[in-house]
Every structure is written in C-alpha cells, then in structure tokens.
Amino acid sequence: MSFEHVGFTLWLTGMSGAGKSTISERLMERFRQNHAKVELLDGDVVRTNLSQGLGFSREDRDTNVRRIGFVCDLLSRNGVIAVVAAISPYRSTRDEVRSKIERFAEVFVECPVEVLAQRDVKGWYKKAAAGEVANFTGISDPYEPPERPDIHVRTDRETLDESVEKVWRYLVDRGWISAELAS
C-alpha cells in the first residue's frame, strides 16, 4: 500500500516560540518519509525571500500573510501539501486566507506568555517587555488567537509527539492523507 494525499494547507499560528516551526519540521519529516508532495513556508524564511522589505506594521503583516496564502492556494490546488508556520497575528487576515483555499486547516499552537519568556533563549520577550523591541506580537502588538481552530495544541501541556499526533490524526480523519504507512 502507498501513502496518498490530496492538496491542502495546514496553517500553524501562534506566538513567537510557541512551537510552530518545531511541530512543522516533525510533520515535514513524516510527510517526506511517506513520499508526499509537501512544501514548508516558515514565516522567517518567507520574510527573507518573498516578503523582503516588509516591516511589522499591521498592513505589512497582513500583506505577508496574504502572500503566504496565495502561494498555499497555488500549491494545494495542484496536489501539494502546504505547511505554514507563521505567527500571522490577525484573525481577520487568517480568515480571509482560509476563505480562498478549498482545504485549509488552522492549527492554534498555544503557549502562555510566561512559558514563552522562560523558553526564549534570544531574550526577545524580556526586551519587548522592557520596551526595547517595538511591535513584538503578544507584548507590544496584539495576537488574536483563533476562535475555532481546527486543531488546538498546547505546547506547555503536551509533548511534541502528542501535538504532532493530534495534527496527523485530524488529517487522517478528514481523508486528506491515507492512514496506510502514515505513522
């Protein structure tokens, strides 16, 4: 038996350091082990390549999310799994992108700010709290959590494997990936 999938977008949203990239990378390993057609659009990489020159105003953040969404729509319409790991702080812009993509699953990667600050090896949360970093999501700039995410993981309460399995099970249950050879 072979692993089969349809094109879809898996959009991981959450604050900086919540675990979006870590979960995405683990999912990418599983997809690749099963020879899936898959692409990862990580927020930091996209900003460097596709959205270079954009700042962190609301307008620029919305433009960045819309650009990522455009690429995801192209990929998923053509049978590719598009995995996004991006803060994407504004609910209305995420909802706008969702409305344009046929198969879209929003994953809310949640972790309390106190835990994020403890995990933060670069000290961004401390600097933002001290007013040294402007427009820092969740501190000096808003983060609007999804009201009804398709999948909700809590990285302060779940192991990485538990979070990944929760996402994987959702995809199998929706019929977007086959259960054969999918573990």
Rounded to an integer, what distance in angstroms lies between the CA atom of residue 7 and that of residue 22? 22
Please say whether the beta carbons of 73 and 79 come within 8 A: no
Rounded to an integer, what distance in angstroms lies between the CA atom of residue 51 and that of residue 68? 9
Residue 157 CA to chain centroid, in angstroms?
Answer: 18
Catalytic, 57? Answer: no
Rounded to an integer, what distance in angstroms lies between the CA atom of residue 88 and that of residue 167? 19
Please say whether the beta carbons of 50 and 40 come within 8 A: no
Rounded to an integer, what distance in angstroms lies between the CA atom of residue 177 and that of residue 79? 12
Please say whether the beta carbons of 54 and 63 come within 8 A: yes
The DSSP symbol for 121 reads T
Rounded to an integer, what distance in angstroms lies between the CA atom of residue 77 and that of residue 88? 22
Task: Tell me which of 88, 92, 163, 178 is the catalytic residue.
Answer: 88
> Token pair of 113, please?
């700010």
Catalytic residue numbers read: 88
